Amino acid sequence: MSLATGCQAPPITVIGIGNPYRHDDAAGLVVLASLSQRFAAEQRIRLVELDGEPVRLIQSWEGSDTVLIIDAVRSLHPPGTIHHFRADGISGAAADGIALGGGHLLGLGEAIDLARALCLLPRDLDVVGIEGADFELGQGLSAPVASACDLATAQLVDQLEQLLLSLVSRSGAAARPAARR
């Protein structure tokens, strides 16, 4: 429970990271906007748009058990490739040679390292990285990244619906009395 507001944080936080003025770096924001059309009224999910600053990132998931982060990435993979990472597999500025955070000065890897050092990682933290092609100044996604955003959105809708179902089944199981032996 958050002492500042007196309200309990939603169990799920979805964070879209990006800069809408650096072409493909906006991928995380585009996916988040699509998810908000479906889940904006869902009180068990907090939707957060960020620029990737590590301290704000860590603060944004405070109190949530499950965190999903969508961000642009850079590597030698083809533009539009969708990568999936778990926090325990991410360290420093890269994961498996993939630079997390597209065009950000400090990457997502550093934010996760900081949260790990401060014991502030949520129970489950998954990152969806969309391989970008163009991080120069300007607006609009490249064609392969736009297609990948659609696919990533569909995958995340399925994942969020499964997470919501598991919350219902866990709360139902907790409400049932234990069987007597």
- Over residues 65-86, the pLDDT tens digits come to 999 999 999 888 999 999 998 8
Give the pLDDT band (50/70/90) at residue 1.
very low
Q: Which two tokens stand for residue 142?
A: 């490249």
Query: Could you tell me the residue range of the domain that residue 122 belongs to?
Result: 12-172
We report the CATH number of the domain holding residue 152 as 3.40.50.1450
State the chain's mean pLDDT as an integer. 86
Q: What is the DSSP letter of 87?
A: G
From residue 123, alpha-carbon distances to 18, 28, 66, 115, 152 in Å are 24, 22, 6, 12, 22
Q: Is residue 178 part of a domain?
A: no
Q: Is residue 41 part of a domain?
A: yes
pLDDT reading at 88 higher than 60: yes
Q: Domain tally for the chain?
A: 1
The answer to the question of residue 18 being in a domain is yes
Element housing 68 (H / E): strand 66-74
Kindly report the pTM of this predicted structure. 0.85
